[in-house]
Amino acid sequence: MLPETDHIARTCNASSLGSSGEPTPASFEFRVRDGQWKDVYLSVNWLELLCPGEADLPAKVDVLRTVQRANEHGWPLIKPTAKKVYAVIPVRAIHSASLEEAATTLACRHEPHGDGDPHSGVHPNPGVDHWPATGDGAAQLAVQQYLWSAVCHYEPGMLKPPAGGNGVGKAAAPATP
Amino acid sequence: MELAFSPATKPQGEASAVARQRALLMAANADESVSAIQARGAEPRLSAAVGGAMIYDERRAAALVNVLVTLDAAFYEDYEELLCDESRAGFESFMKYHRWARMPLLGSESTGKIVGTWKSGDECLSIRFVERHRFHYAITTRGQDGLRRDWGHSNIVTFFDEHPSAKRLVRG
């Protein structure tokens, strides 16, 4: 499991975001297709694998952004765009999920496609095979809400360059909820 | 300027006074002064009350349309499909039935189902609009023993009677 001192970043689709570009519980959806769970775990990226040490979260997200844009190894991933958002959650918050009423705990595990791949997963325990295959159950909404409530930082997938600058971009207002 | 009622068909009584005012306001410029309304024989206090409520409803309806159009466009861009019709109808029904409800934080899942969330401090309510009158909810409230989570299925008519704390979160 990922260290509890570390963080994961979830790439959120634009349609899952609120009107101000903030993540919502819809951003942490476990997907169902054709009556089966498509997502055994929630795909996320381990920030400190790429950027260990004491850098702040925007700096760590920037490293992830750079690696994903380049994707030199051709790993399957969601490319960051200006309309998508990285939502950061502390691993400690995920591991301490108090969802006893749902008899569900959550664990972050590294799920790399190759050496150096930060891809990881938020695994429910018991797994999705214990969830109703109709998919959109209320208990799963509670899990999504919990993950959303644990977001500690979010920012756009792609950054706008400053006006009149040299093209090296920094975001307008990365947000810490 | 065309009125909703002709003199031959105008309704009678107190309800008719409200209806008459509504017709006048619908036909009138929204910025028309109270004196101008009064000049047409309207009761200024009644017309202000009816006018205020109508303006609130119209603005709220416009805000709902605006937020759904924006969400629809984003969803189409992500998935080349439109939002789930039943879910959209469910959200609209909820917001129209509960006129006092704040606009929630709104997002869509990949199925096209709309999820609305209302937050107050560390308490929150999320609703996934499944069908026109049925939805899933997840609510987190703070009690004496800390945060408590609850979830289930409900409908727009009985939900707040069953969950008074949800009403507090939605009202704000």
Contacts of A31 (CB under 8 A, 6+ apart): A37, A38, A39, A135, B109, B110, B111
Tens of pLDDT along A24-60? 999 999 888 887 888 889 999 999 999 998 899 999 9
Of A24, A99, A101, the CB nearest to B117: A24
* Residue A22: closest C-alpha in chain B: B105
- pLDDT tens-digit map of A58-83: 999 999 999 999 999 999 998 899 99
Query: Residue A141 and residue B74: Cβ atoms within 8 Å?
Result: no
The distance in angstroms from the start CA to the end CA of chain A is 26
Among A78, A141, A146, which would you mutate to test the B interface (most chain B Cβ atoms within 10 Å of its Cβ)?
A141
Contact B137, A141 (CB under 8 A): yes
Q: Which helix (H) or strand (E) holds B63?
A: helix B44-79
From the candidates B77, B148, B149, B162, which should be mutated to test the interface with A, based on the most A CB atoms within 10 A? B149
**For A135-163, what is the mean pLDDT?**
88
Residue of B nearest to A31 (CA): B110
Chain B residues touching A142 at Cβ < 8 A:
138, 149, 151
Residues in chain B: 172
A101 interaction partners in chain B (CB closer than 8 Å): 148-151
Q: Give the pLDDT of residue A6.
A: 97
- The enclosing H or E element of A81 equals none
pLDDT of residue A18: 96
Phi, psi of A119 (to 5 degrees): -55, 130
Q: Which amino acid is at A18?
A: G
A56: β partners: none
Residue B84 has pLDDT above 70, yes or no: yes
Q: Which pair of tokens denotes residue A101?
A: 């009423």
Q: Which residues of B79-109 are buried (b: 16+ CB within 10 A; e: fewer)?
A: eeeebbebbbebbbbbbeeeeebeebbbbbb
pLDDT at site B52:
81
pLDDT value for A141: 92
Percentage helix, strand, coil for chain A under 3-state DSSP, each rounded to 5: 25, 25, 50
Task: Establish whether this prediction's ipTM goes over 0.95.
Answer: no
pLDDT at residue A175 above 90?
no
Interface of B with A in 101-120 (CB under 8 A): 105-111, 113, 115, 117
* Amino acid found at A87: A
Residues in chain A within 8 Å Cβ distance of B138: 25, 138, 141-142, 144-145
Q: Does the pLDDT of residue A116 top 80, yes or no? A: yes
> In this structure, are residues A26 and A48 in contact, taking their beta carbons and an 8 Å threshold?
no
Count H helices and E strands in chain A, helices first.
Answer: 4, 8
| Structure tokens given for A76 | 């399957």
Nearest to A139 among B105, B106, B151 (CB): B151
Say what the pLDDT of residue B104 is: 97
Beta-strand pair B114-120/B123-129 = antiparallel
Residue that is written with structure tokens 């005012």 in the block? B21
pLDDT value of position B28: 44
Mean pLDDT of B120-127: 96
CA distances from A127 to A112, A131, B153 (A): 20, 7, 22
The answer to whether B155 faces chain A, any CB pair under 8 Å, is no
**Confidence (pLDDT) at B49:** 66
A102 close contact with B: CB closer than 8 A: yes
Q: Is the model's pTM score more than 0.90?
A: no
Q: CB–CB of B137 and A141 under 8 A?
A: yes
pLDDT at residue A31, as a whole number: 87
- Contact with chain B for residue A83, Cβ under 8 A: yes
The larger pLDDT score, comparing residue B43 to residue A6, is at A6
Count chain A–chain B contacts defined by CB atoms under 8 A.
101
Distance CA(A15)–CA(A27), nearest Å, equals 9
Determine the Cα–Cα distance for residues A155 and A88; give it in Å rounded to an integer: 9
pLDDT score of A104: 80
User: Mean pLDDT across chain A, nearest whole number?
Assistant: 87
Is residue A115's pLDDT more than 90?
A: yes
Rounded Cα distance between A38 and A32, Å, is 5
pLDDT tens string B2-57: 333 333 343 344 444 444 444 444 444 444 444 454 455 545 555 666 678 888 88
